[in-house]
Amino acid sequence: MKALVYEGAWQMPMRDVPNAEPGTGELKIKVETVGVCGSDVHGFKGTTGRRKPPIIMGHEFSGTVVTRGSDVKEYQIGDRVVVTPLLTCGDCDNCRAGFPNQCQNRSGLGVNLNGAYAEFINVPEKMVFRLPAEMSWEQGALVEPLAVGMHAVNLAPMALMDTVVIIGAGTIGLVTILAAKMRGAGKIIVTDVSEHRLDFAKRLGADVVINPAKQDAVEAVKAETNGKGAPVVIEAVGITATTKQSLLMARNGGNVVWIGNSDPEITINMQQIVTRELTVRGAYGFNDEFGLSIEAIRSKRVDPTVLIEKRATLAEGTQIVDALARGNADWIKVMLKP
């Protein structure tokens, strides 16, 4: 089968790779649509260190069951499905305590297990969810990023009508707007250096957009919050400049959730956290939010397909990821069809 194989920084050629039969309890899924994630683009540059070549990336996808391994219980050939990319053991303390995203034996499709930039993928049945008939393949491929935004919002203590700042209007920042609205956020302030992305933020319901390239973003947030800063700040970029801003934009005693995951090390002013008693926490992946994300889209509470700006074949994927990595393109969400 054809797959895009990440072989090292800036290298992801299409290769012929073995199309293995599914193992016990596994399903072979024909990938119908797979989304290009910002983390794949960063991974492609070889700077984050989380993806070790050779690996097939791609973790936001929907597909059709084409082969059942032995001992598969629930799914049949022809079923339309979406797959959570988080493989968890179900057995460790964290899994048992109800937060499998922190499974001590966690692995991830497209990160350290081969993912869905391929014609087919074999996955354990327990990672599979049904794609409701009224949802498109593309909506299925957007379940994962929406779940990430929903998880970040779930982790931020938030009262009805609280002001929320979202730093970064890439896919995750943008779906976080949708999630914050579902949670009952008040004024939503979004920052990004791309006017193009800020336009999307407005379309998705941001009340105020700020371009830090044009104005002091921290001052602008203060001006929007009576000089106090916001009770909730969600950082969806993950570099020093924006994590610094996330602290400065929070009001005293405020909550800051870091979901951005780009630079492995950043420099911040620790005293901002100590003396102003900020709560800073990380958010990674999702737990129940994956199923809830399916339901949020199915029930038309949100429709993240507005984020799709480009559709292409799998073969075009390498060029597309390269263009995104070089900053030669600024598509919010790209969908590939193997």
Number of residues that bind Zn ion (CB under 5 A): 7
Q: In the complex with Zn ion, which residue's Cβ is closer, 37 or 121?
A: 37
Task: State how beta strands 26-36 and 333-337 pair.
Answer: antiparallel
Which residue has tokens 């737990």?
287
Which stretch, 31-39, 204-212, 217-225, 241-249, contacts Zn ion (CB under 5 A)? 31-39
Eight-state DSSP code of residue 37? P
Q: Is residue 92 at the binding interface for Zn ion, with CB under 5 A as the rule?
A: yes
Q: In the complex with Zn ion, which residue's Cβ is closer, 94 or 272?
A: 94
Q: What is the distance between the alpha carbons of residues 180 and 90, in angstroms, rounded to a whole number?
A: 29
Both tokens of 65, joined, read: 């069951």
Q: Is residue 89 at the binding interface for Zn ion, with CB under 5 A as the rule?
A: yes
Which of 8, 124, 36 shows the shortest CA–CA distance to 332?
A: 36
Q: Binder to Zn ion among 56, 103, 174, 249 (CB under 5 A)?
A: 103
Q: In the complex with Zn ion, which residue's Cβ is closer, 39 or 243?
A: 39
Q: Is residue 150 at the binding interface for Zn ion, with CB under 5 A as the rule?
A: no
Q: What is the distance between the alpha carbons of residues 262 and 47, in angstroms, rounded to a whole number?
A: 8
Q: In the complex with Zn ion, which residue's Cβ is closer, 41 or 292?
A: 41
Which stretch, 96-104, 150-158, 178-186, 275-283, contacts Zn ion (CB under 5 A)? 96-104
Q: Is residue 95 at the binding interface for Zn ion, with CB under 5 A as the rule?
A: yes
List the beta strands (DSSP E) in the chain.
2-4, 14-16, 26-36, 60-68, 80-83, 86-87, 107-108, 120-124, 128-130, 164-167, 188-191, 208-210, 230-235, 250-258, 279-282, 308-313, 333-337
Report the nearest approach of Zn ion to the CB of residue 226 (Å): 36
Residue 42 has φ and ψ, to the nearest 5°, of -65, -40
- Is the separation of the CB atoms in 75 and 144 below 8 Å? no
Report the nearest approach of Zn ion to the CB of residue 94 (Å): 6
Q: In the complex with Zn ion, which residue's Cβ is closer, 91 or 134?
A: 91
Pattern of binders to Zn ion over 35-74, x per CB under 5 A? --x-x-----------------------------------
Contacts with Zn ion, residue ranges (CB under 5 A): 37, 39, 88-89, 92, 95, 103
